[in-house]
Structure 1
Amino acid sequence: MPESDEQQLFLGRQPILGRDQQLSAYELLFRTGGVAVTAEVGDASQATATVIANAFAEFSVGDALGPYRGFINVDQDFLFSDLIEMLPQQAVVLEILETVEPTPVVLERCRQLRVKGFSLAVDDVIQADDSYRPLLELADIIKVDVQQLSTEALAALVGKLKPLGKKLLAEKVETAEQMEICRGLGFELFQGFYFARPTIIAGRRLSPSQLTLLRLLGLLLEDAETSDIETAFKLEPGLTVNLLRLTNSVGSGMAVHITSLRHAITVLGRRQLQRWLQLLLFTNPKGEQTVSPLLQLAATRGRFMELLAAKANAGNRELTDNAFLVGIMSLMPALLGVGMPEILAQLPVPPRIVQALTAGEGTLGKLLALALAVDSGDMEIVEATLRDLPGIASRDINGALTQALAWANSLGVEARRA
């Protein structure tokens, strides 16, 4: 792929969750940046196929997805492109767009792709009449657009789809009420702003473990004695087990296993321990073996900002540490159900972190704005923010994002193994 920013590919993603709100997959969103956004492209579908194939080859998106599959939108032309077969079958789900007519040649192509090992999803389904049924029968997953249907119409459609024996995915879920209706109707997968924005956790009462974590984080930021940190841990045995499990994971980058609290503090060092504490806030304090989408988002954002901070100012360890902290803390209001000023009042963080989180000021504030724009897929803000961040090019975004996703996914893998 060319090195010029004008031909760079931007990668976005939206989580797809299971019935217990654990992360199940991502829908991958590919966009070109710079001049290519408005440039005339002779064959748009071929260009899309090329950048997607390159994304898996050059950016190691397949590795970054880890155990989660990536749903990729497929239009009529892309469906018949030879480049589609370059994608790793085990890592992707081909999402057939609603604009694709289920003609005999389309159905035959779908059969061929299934034989080759690809999984198929059908996008934006709102009807199941006889002309559309053959395509639905070839799909592994049927994505139903719940925004386009009344509750009665949705129930009627599900009644027609269930006999097909396919997984049903409710997309464009925006409210708790819609979520509960879809769960009641038997949907297995869910996607939408209700999940992509971390409001799903908002207003939750803090558990004793989380209160302990906040106290521990404060102790580390104040450079308290190791004995004081150990004492705080001992108040929560379950939290101690959780910490040891995570510090034993491959995500820590260590070759030895942690066997005690003092060992964890000594071997990891306070900088690394502080990071685990930040991430532990986003895990299930009861130790249930699910992967929290909020943990994935927090871990990804913190690592993404840290990597880009290193690009913006190489060798400035304080900036990279602060960037990681800002990324994690930006999601704490959703986790804790309280405002950012209230959270900052409990933690002794430096002024530039406060300014970044409350006013978007400084390099850290710009990095946070960039991370938020990448999450939302707003390429105009991405490019505008990059102009205020010398040292970071558009080509750096996907490299940092895929590395951050891979790191965050390693946390989920270890959580399931534990």
Structure 2
Amino acid sequence: MRHSYIARQPILDSNKKTVGYELLFRDGPSNTFPVIDAEHATSRLLSDHFLTTHYATLGNKLGFVNFPYQSLINKVPTLFPANNLVVEILEDCPPTAELLEAVKEMAALGYTIALDDFVPSKEWKVFLPYINIIKFDIRVVPLQKAQIFIDRLSHSGIKFLAEKVETYEEFEQAKAIGFALFQGYFFSKPEMLERKSLDPDFLTVVQLVTEVSQQEIDYKKIEALISKDVTMSYKLLTCVNSSYLVSRKIESFKQALVYLGEERLRKFVSLVALASNRDDKPDYLYGLSIQRARYSELLIREVSSRIDPSLAFITGMFSLLDSLLDRPIELIIDEIPINEAVKIALTEGTGELGQVMALIKAYELAQWDTVASYCGELHLDQDVISKCYEDSVKWTSDLLAI
């Protein structure tokens, strides 16, 4: 069983009373930030923490969580309760109009918004009416410079948090110039919390991603998949019952799916999918299987009106299961109720679905003579396959960049 590692560092008020914790993703017991993509780190933290061990980690305190740009644009924080989540906008997020709209919407829903490691600049001025907390790293912005900004916004209602407070003198100075919240080694180094991580069955995740990617979501299929996986069941009910949308406790999967709605359901599945990448496998294998799914779907629409595009999607999605699960594809396919044409395409490489899959593999390897040969057999224009490829890359990026 995989273990989840979360570091939490207390955030205190001027009386040294703990009001919350900043939650920091770790991928092992060393208590250092791992060298992984920020979006993946946030997804893992949210899935392993807010959808599983939430109350054991936070109690009744606030949870401060860093959100990279794309997860803010997609309003991932709205999957979680507004009453004890502080949405930290990472310092490397560009202050775009798109980000401003997302911040406005989340603020209107009651979320507490914080600017992390803030360095004053005129581009952020339009954001300030929607900001509740501004965090200054006092190693980067000296207390004297911070005081000018704090004085200027003294009537705004914004609270200021001093990060990297390392001595009693710094605490007293920060308090004197108007800081209300404090964080740093003077109070506590980040504390490591190790939990057993609840991971959903990988095949269930793959099937759920397949279902939520369809234009028309089949809620009966989604309910059937979730209900047979205890981890997905638990995370779904935790997610929905913590939502600002819910006024009474949700007890059935059907109720939960109705309350979640299509857009939030897609975000929930994408979040869990991205977070449940198998640790012993490269992340790109997982993303590539989804990209192949979309590419297959787009190509089959060009090739044949006889084949349901959803079968092409499944063929692409399952094309790397042998690598991901370390088992022969024939054994895996036998365990899944699957269309015969898909089965033949994956195990024998024949039929139009098999040809499309062979074309995709040749395209990925830049084997252009083979690509040209399959284009001839399938009556495909090479410009079309290039356009479909570009579309599949963008689609996969949008789906997983939660």
The interval holding the TM-score normalised by the smaller chain is 0.3 to 0.5
TM-score normalized by the length of structure 2: 0.43
Structure (1/2) with the larger helix percentage: 1
Of structures 1 and 2, the one scoring higher in RCO (CA 8 A, sep 6+) is 1
Q: Which is higher, the Rg of structure 1 or of structure 2? A: 2
